[in-house]
A = this chain, B = another copy of it.
């Protein structure tokens, strides 16, 4: 059996290595257009800033390793230019010499990834404008910045005035995870960074009110995000810099521009084979990673995946899924019965020490699908026991089925990155296993005061959601609370910080003795800092015959709730 694998990184390399383990006899040829296989795309932004110091660290496995350990014929600088599905052949082109050859296959695996989108804007090819996708990309960005640095350092030495060092400016076009990682790393290098984002939020997979917290976090760390505008063109400035022109007519001067407006499945090659491309623009595969041609498999960023939660086709460019899909394709080619379960989209991004993470369906996805059998909650528990120093608040949103309690998705943000990771990873595991909020309620995660709480944030999420579903705690949200009677059960001292106009204040401790101040004919919406005391108040009110709801997340949710 001869297997050709196109693309030698996350999906392709994983597939090749696994296939060799399963089948010593298969003839395996892996072709990669670029100069390296198995490189760490995910490390590129951190190499730009020098956090990952050596370029060599990014090269996870070498051609030589593939040859020696895996007896795989690897060809770098080798592009697959077309496929004849009928003849089962691939035409290969040596990108250095232009020479082409034809190779036949029994099975073909495509893992060509998803290049960074690059609209044909005027000036988009000017020097100083970069994409971040390959090791050479990172190298040229570093060189561009360093060459500037040397020059400026020289100037500073000459004048003896370090203070006079002019600010260098970066414009990052796009506020997705690659854009924001680049924004952070460029900031670390001392650049002044602006992010231009066409939409109204950063980090598309997050719900907007959660993304807002990240925006504030970015601002606090000196990264300015411009919303509702997009790059429209670029021109060279006299001082060697670039002027970014936006759709709205603004201009931003920059010493470097990073283009990161998203990725698009690489399907050119697939199209030459005539295999099916799905509605979202990715290669269509079944759960065995097989395309519409049973001898051609496809994996990674280039394919459409079934969303684990919604069951819909979607595009998710993540390394974990690419790796697992590559492994499954190898299994199937080797005659195994492996199946891909779909992608939850579990992701995390570290930003200035904090992190945002998410898994499963977002609220906006459910809304887009017209699915309204869901409820959501906002919680702001401590990342670990409040009495142990350094406890930082987590912002946690959990979305679940109203009819069954099934956990649909979760999003978390916080300054304690590992604490964010712990909760979303645990909930990701729960979602994969079909957990309900009642399972979260009873879950038993690690607890010692440095690491969690006796009732972990994940337990709290389950308890709060469970209380809603059991009817113990009617809930409403800032965006839907309106002309109801608003009761604030915080202490007077807390009101000094921020209060909601029109809300009546009765501190929780006084509620039982002041019930006669409350209306019996109106729905009472109760707020406090996080909604925990509001819940306690709602319990008192309901049992005394009032109609009451908590406002989920209380004042803390209000700071980022979108109206």
**Interface of A with B (CB < 8 Å)?**
10, 20-25, 40, 42-43, 46, 51-53, 57-58, 60, 68-71, 308, 318-324, 327, 341, 343-344, 346-350, 355, 357, 359, 385-389, 417-419, 421-422, 424-430, 432-435, 439, 442-452, 454-456, 458-459, 463, 472, 508-509, 512, 533, 535-536, 539-540, 543-544
Contact = CB atoms under 8 A, between A and B. Distances in A.
Contacts of A428: 426, 443-446
B42 A320 contact: no
Nearest to A456: B320
Task: Pick from A320, A355, A508 the residue with the most CB of B within 10 Å.
Answer: A320
A10 B385 CA distance: 13
B442 A432 contact: yes
A488 to B, nearest CB: 15
Contacts of A417: 450-451
A429 B444 CA distance: 7
Contact of A444 (B419, B432, B463): B432
18 contacts: A21-B536, A22-B539, A24-B540, A51-B388, A69-B508, A69-B533, A318-B447, A324-B455, A346-B445, A350-B450, A359-B446, A418-B419, A425-B425, A425-B452, A426-B429, A429-B443, A430-B433, A433-B434
Contacts of A350: 448, 450-451
User: Copy number of this protein in the oligomer?
Assistant: 2
A24 B539 contact: yes
Contacts of A52: 387-389, 449
Given A320-B447, A422-B425, A429-B429, 10 more contacts: A40-B385, A52-B387, A57-B387, A70-B536, A318-B447, A348-B452, A350-B448, A424-B446, A428-B446, A429-B443
A508 to B, nearest CB: 6
A439 to B, nearest CB: 6
Given A21-B536, A444-B343, A446-B357, A320 B454 contact: yes
Nearest to A318: B447
B322 A454 contact: yes
Contacts of A418: 418-419, 421-422, 451
A341 B430 CA distance: 16
Contacts of A60: 386-387
A385 B509 CA distance: 50
Task: Pick from A355, A448, A451 the residue with the most CB of B within 10 Å.
Answer: A448
A350 B319 CA distance: 31
A188 B515 CA distance: 52
